[in-house]
Every structure is written in C-alpha cells, then in structure tokens.
C-alpha cells in the first residue's frame, strides 16, 4: 500500500535536494581523484559508511546499554555493547565509553571526570604537537584549567622528557592523561606502543588512523569507569549518536582483522618513505623523520608560508594542511610548515613507489610556487596515480552517469 507519507519518505535525495545530492557526488569525485595527505583524515569502508548512514539516526538512547531513559532500545543496546566489547578487546582496556560525539567531547568528559576548574594539567604546546583541547587559551580547556605547557627540544625537535619531569615536580599536575587520537590505529595494530596499560585514562578519536566514523571514545582503568560514564552522560552530552556508535563497532571489527596490522605497518612505512623522499628534494622534515603516520615539512626557509603551500598543493590535487612548526617564526594562520600523513593514501593500497611519485609532485609544486602550468601538470599526474588506486567506485560511477544525463 502506498500512503502520502510513505511516498514522501521514499523520495530520493536527487528529488528532495538536488544541490546536496550534487555536492555529495562532487565530494566523492574530489576524494577519489585527488590525493589526501591530511594525517588526521582517512577513507572509511563502504561498510562503515552504511552503518553511519543508517536507521539508527532516528533513535534516542540516553543512558547506557540496559539502563536507558527511552524505550525501544533493545537493538541500540546490542549495537553499543558490541562497540564497547570490541573496543575493550582491540585495546586491552578495562573499560570503554564509545559515546563521545568527537575527540573534543571525549576530552571534555575526561577533564570533567578528573579535574575541578583551576586545577593544573600538563599539556603539550600546540605548535609542538599538542591539540587545542590540551590547554589552548581560546579553548575551554585553557579557560577552565591551568595548563602548563611542555615542549620539544630546540636541538632535535623531540619531546623533552627531562622538561616534563621538571615541570611535573614543580607544578604537581592533577592529571597527565593520554590523548592518542592520531595514533590510535597504529596502537590497535601494535605498530606503536600502547599507552593503555600505563595510563588511567586514554582518550581518542575514531576517525584518524583508526579509520572509523568521525567520533570519540574514552578508555580507562576499571576504577575510573563510573566517573567517565557519568561525565559523558549526563555530564557533558545528551543522547548518543547510535548510528555513529554502530559505525564505530564496524570500524573496531575491521581493526580486529589481521589485515589491519598489515595496513598500519604500511602506514608507518609509507610515512617514512614519503618523508625521506621529500627531504631528498631538499626540504627539511621536522625532527629529521617520523616513527608514525605523520610528519611536518618546514617551508618558510624557501620564502613560502604553510598557507600558500597548502593552497598551491590543493590546486594540484594534493590535500595537506598548513601547520605551525616548533619555534615557528610565522603566526599560525600563515604557519612555517605543512603537515603530511599517509593514512588515506595507504587505505587506497599505495606503497613506497607511489610515495616517491607523491613526493616528486609536492616538491615540484613547492619549487615552482604560483606556476599554474606546473600545478596543472601535477594535477594530471595526481589524477593518473589516483585512478590506478580506485576508491568509492559506485559513487564516482554514479557521478559520471549523473553528469552525462
């Protein structure tokens, strides 16, 4: 039987909102034909996308599995419990809260569970690798708590553990917690040492190296479980995003597959290969290299700002982000460097030989700043390389079909 309501609900996106439908297609083509080197991004599987764009977006489920404030949660409970159990298994954690809407929300819950306003925390300085939520003065963290910044050493741009020890003894911080947002995938695969056995509380995002949906998560020792849960809901959030939790569960399932270890090993090898190749073109890599998925390239000695480099590379189909470097002479909106990472290109199946090609393209654009001819030439090479490692084919095919009709 067809009802008016039913007919309304069945209308395809193209009919309801052709502008958004077009933009979805354009974004799929952008992602498929360009090279994504932003280290905090990745390319999720169709399985993760399917869970994310699912029927669970309709469901309110305030509370936790078995203890909800809404009816009809029998399937939401199962989804969240699967996500929790898989997260605990993946990271060997006593407790997992998978409800944080984002990495920032996860950190809000962590701080609220362990600190009072005005308490002292040690956090890494933003330009030295920290995040806004680690005490930046414009962020809630810097406004609510007294953050004492630690740094990398100027000589070798590596974390100065002596300074951390000195600062910890001097300021007696209430908390030194671990935010493993960037490296979570490497940690899950055993390619990076895990903070989970050592730290009381570990926060993370699920969308970077872990290759899940945009979201956050908090892992903790059993003793902190109750407080973390209480400060996530009702402390700092309302209803969880059950569709996102379903996608997190799928992401954890994929991360438990043996092939995820191979993927993460390749992420680290590719980052090393890319950093080495770029330095062979005469660009300095901050701290001389990388042990994980990300590295910074200093561009200001060439008279280029990170911002200009980002724009030029974007025009050539290579997406990076400008980034302040330690002891940066330029303000953050210009920045003296760019940040590059391997998670997305590795998800496409690229390996060391492709890292050489990407480095050639980056170096060519940056040594011919503002040369539209060079940018176009590299753009074409990028498209050819991307085409050899196809992604989201059903989406790009749909875009091509749509463009023809």
Catalytic positions: 60, 62, 179, 205, 208, 214
Q: Mark residues 14-43: x for contact with ligand PLP by CB under 6 A, - for none.
A: --------------------------x---
The distance of closest approach from Cβ of residue 187 to ligand PLP in the complex, given in angstroms and rounded to an integer, is: 13
Cβ–Cβ < 8 Å for 146, 120 = yes
Q: Which of 337, 384, 344, 335 is nearest to 360 (CA)?
A: 384
Q: How far apart are CA 369 and CA 373, in angstroms?
A: 10
The DSSP line for 371-401 is -HHHHHHHHHHHHHHHHHS--SHHHHHHHHH
Q: At what angle do helices 103-114 and 222-232 cross, to 10 degrees?
A: 120
**Taking CB under 6 A as the rule, does residue 149 contact ligand PLP?**
no
Exactly one of 102, 209, 232, 319 binds ligand PLP (CB under 6 A); which one?
102
List 131, 272, 322, 379, residue binding ligand PLP (CB under 6 A): 131
Q: Out of 31, 42, 97, 133, point to the residue binding ligand PLP (CB under 6 A).
A: 133
- Binding to ligand PLP in span 40-69, by CB under 6 A: 40
Residue 323 interacting with ligand PLP (CB under 6 A): no
From the list 59, 136, 182, 192, which residue makes contact with ligand PLP (rule: CB under 6 A)?
Answer: 182
Could you say whether residue 244 binds ligand PLP (CB under 6 A)?
A: no
Task: Give the whole-angstrom CA distance, residue 309 versus residue 110.
Answer: 36
User: Of 368, 270, 281, whose CA–CA distance to 316 is shortest?
Assistant: 368
Min dist. Cβ of residue 40 to ligand PLP (A): 5
Q: Is 221 helix (H, G, I), strand (E, B) or coil?
A: coil
If the CB atoms of residues 149 and 375 are measured against ligand PLP, the closer one turns out to be: 149
Among residues 145 and 283, whose Cβ is nearest to ligand PLP? 145
SS3 177: coil
- At its nearest, how many Å lie between ligand PLP and the CB of residue 237? 13
- Residue where the block lists tokens 């009072």: 116
287 binds ligand PLP (CB under 6 A): no
Instruction: Kindly state whether residue 104 participates in binding ligand PLP, applying the rule CB under 6 A.
Output: yes
Q: What are phi and psi of 134, to 5 degrees?
A: -105, 35
Distances from the Cα of 181 to the Cα of 84, 216, 312, angstroms: 17, 8, 28
Q: How far is the CB of 177 from ligand PLP (least distance, A)?
A: 11
Residues in the site for ligand PLP, rule: CB under 6 A?
40, 102-104, 131, 133, 179, 181-182, 205, 216
């Amino acid at each position: 039987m067809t009802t008016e309501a039913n007919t309304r609900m069945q209308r395809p996106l193209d009919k309801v909102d052709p502008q958004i439908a077009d933009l979805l297609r354009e974004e799929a083509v952008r992602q498929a034909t360009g090279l994504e080197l932003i280290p905090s991004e990745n390319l999720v599987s169709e399985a993760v996308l399917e869970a994310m764009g699912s029927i669970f977006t309709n469901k309110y489920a305030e509370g936790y599995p078995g203890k909800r404030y809404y009816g009809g949660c029998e399937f939401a409970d199962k989804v969240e419990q699967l996500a929790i159990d898989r997260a605990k298994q993946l990271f060997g954690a006593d407790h997992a809260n998978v409800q944080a809407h984002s990495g920032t929300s996860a950190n809000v819950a962590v701080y609220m569970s362990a600190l009072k306003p005005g308490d002292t925390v040690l956090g890494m300085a933003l330009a030295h690798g920290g995040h806004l939520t680690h005490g930046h003065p414009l962020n809630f963290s810097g406004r609510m708590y007294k953050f004492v910044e630690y740094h990398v050493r100027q000589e070798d741009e590596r974390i100065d553990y002596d300074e951390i020890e000195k600062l910890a003894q001097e300021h007696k911080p209430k908390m030194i917690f671990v935010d493993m947002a960037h490296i979570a995938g490497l940690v899950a695969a055993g390619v990076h040492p895990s903070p989970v056995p050592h730290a009381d509380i570990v926060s993370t995002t699920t969308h970077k190296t872990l290759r899940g949906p945009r979201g956050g998560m908090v892992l903790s020792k059993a003793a902190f479980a109750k407080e973390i849960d209480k400060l996530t809901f009702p402390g700092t959030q309302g209803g969880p995003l059950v569709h996102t939790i379903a996608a997190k569960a799928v992401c954890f399932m994929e991360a438990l597959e043996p092939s995820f270890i191979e993927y993460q090993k390749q992420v680290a090898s590719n980052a090393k290969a890319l950093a080495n190749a770029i330095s062979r073109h005469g660009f300095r890599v901050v701290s001389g290299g990388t042990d994980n998925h990300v590295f910074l390239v200093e561009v200001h000695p060439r008279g280029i700002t990170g911002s200009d480099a980002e724009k030029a590379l974007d025009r050539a189909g290579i997406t990076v982000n400008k980034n302040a470097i330690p002891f940066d002479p330029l303000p953050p909106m210009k920045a003296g460097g760019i940040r590059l990472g391997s998670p997305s290109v590795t998800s496409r199946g690229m390996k060391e030989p492709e890292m050489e090609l990407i480095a050639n393209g980056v170096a060519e654009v940056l040594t011919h700043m503002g040369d539209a001819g060079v940018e176009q030439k590299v753009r074409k090479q990028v498209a050819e390389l991307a085409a050899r490692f196809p992604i989201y084919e059903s989406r790009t095919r749909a875009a091509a079909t749509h463009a023809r009709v």
